[in-house]
């Protein structure tokens, strides 16, 4: 059954083998840390594990299985306490319960300590799965009570396979795979948010010159459907990361532009105004592109 449940997991063969061995040894109970880069399939693999342990995949995927709980970091300490209380009850439909904590590395120390109490004395019929970028991003006491299973970045070919399964056309999938750095989840977000077009536009501004670079950046900053300030900041940050990865491919030629993009990312991470950050980036590029290089003959006469 576990073989069938992991059959559609792409590029994480070692992680799947480790989970199969864990199920064979423990029946699925205990605590697991799925550690790897964002977008590499941590939550997807965790849900496939839930399918294997609890059955009734449709209920799990719909969030309606009574023995399955999924938390995100924004649920905070109150969410952790409620979820761990639920684990103390007997399963109602499946042989065990499962708690998935997504982005555990973003939980507060208080929330992690609340979770630690359950990790130290887990119910015999419970499975607890945490996802994080790295074990180093969590409290050592939390990591020590989990079996760590590592996920890795996918190849471009594997990323394309995932994207095509989600209905992305071959040509678009190839370009997304190159820009996503081995993270198909990130590539899907790029596709849904049209970030490849945004990165193309911003890169054109930086490599132009264009007649009105600020018009481009103002369009990028403009709020889109259902976006709040946090979502805008995240979208722009990912757009800048795409541009940075492209510039890094030829860093010797684009050293100044790459440095400016990295500085813009730091400013966004420090909660600077996104409109000002992108405007500064565009104006810096425009100035660099429109300033003529120094005249060696004139410099020699000085």
Comparing 113-122, 228-237, 283-292, which segment has the lowest mean pLDDT?
283-292
Q: At what angle do helices 213-221 and 229-248 cross, to 10 degrees?
A: 130
Model confidence over 223-278: pLDDT tens digits?
888 899 889 999 999 999 999 999 988 877 788 889 999 999 999 999 999 999 99
CATH 3.40.50.300 domain locations along the chain: 2-150
* 189 Cα distance to chain centroid: 9
- The residue that leads in pLDDT, 93 or 5, is 93
CA angle (74, 76, 78) in 5-degree steps: 135
The mean pLDDT value of the chain amounts to 90
**Which residues, other chains included, contact 159 with Cβ-Cβ below 8 Å and sequence gap of 6+?**
11, 173, 176, 177, 180, 182, 183, 184, 187
Model confidence over 171-182: pLDDT tens digits?
999 999 999 999
Taking the domain 2-150, which CATH number applies?
A: 3.40.50.300
**Average pLDDT, integer, range 154-183:** 96
3-state secondary structure of 70: strand
Is residue 151 over pLDDT 80? yes
DSSP character at residue 154: P
Model confidence over 22-35: pLDDT tens digits?
999 999 999 999 99
Rounded to whole angstroms, how far apart are CA atoms 123 and 83?
Answer: 13
Model confidence over 8-61: pLDDT tens digits?
999 999 999 999 999 999 999 999 999 999 999 999 999 999 999 999 999 999
């Amino acid at each position: 059954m576990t073989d069938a449940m992991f059959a559609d997991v792409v590029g994480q063969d070692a992680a799947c083998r480790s989970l199969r061995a864990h199920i064979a040894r423990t029946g699925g109970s205990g605590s697991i840390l799925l550690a790897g880069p964002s977008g590499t399939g941590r939550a997807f693999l965790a849900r496939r594990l839930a399918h294997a342990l609890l059955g009734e995949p449709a209920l799990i995927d719909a969030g309606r299985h009574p023995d399955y709980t999924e938390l995100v970091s924004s649920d905070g300490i109150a969410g952790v306490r409620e979820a761990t209380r639920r684990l103390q009850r007997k399963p109602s439909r499946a042989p065990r319960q499962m708690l998935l904590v997504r982005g555990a590395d973003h939980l507060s120390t208080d929330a992690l300590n609340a979770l630690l109490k359950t990790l130290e004395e887990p119910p015999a019929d419970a499975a607890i799965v945490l996802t994080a970028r790295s074990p180093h991003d969590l409290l050592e006491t939390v990591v020590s009570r989990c079996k760590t299973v590592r996920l890795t970045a996918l190849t471009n070919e594997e990323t394309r396979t995932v994207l095509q399964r989600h209905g992305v056309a071959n040509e678009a999938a190839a370009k997304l795979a190159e820009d996503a750095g081995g993270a198909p989840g990130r590539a899907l977000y790029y596709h849904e948010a049209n970030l490849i077009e945004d990165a193309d536009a911003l890169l054109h501004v930086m490599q132009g010159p264009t007649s009105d670079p600020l018009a481009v950046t103002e369009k990028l900053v403009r709020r889109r459907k259902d976006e709040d300030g946090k979502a805008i900041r995240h979208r722009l940050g990912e757009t800048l990361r795409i541009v940075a990865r492209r510039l890094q491919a030829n860093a010797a030629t684009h050293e100044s532009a790459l440095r400016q993009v990295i500085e813009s990312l730091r400013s966004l991470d420090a909660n600077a105004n996104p409109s000002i950050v992108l405007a500064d980036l565009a104006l810096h590029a425009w100035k660099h592109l429109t300033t003529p290089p120094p005249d060696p003959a004139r410099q020699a006469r000085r």
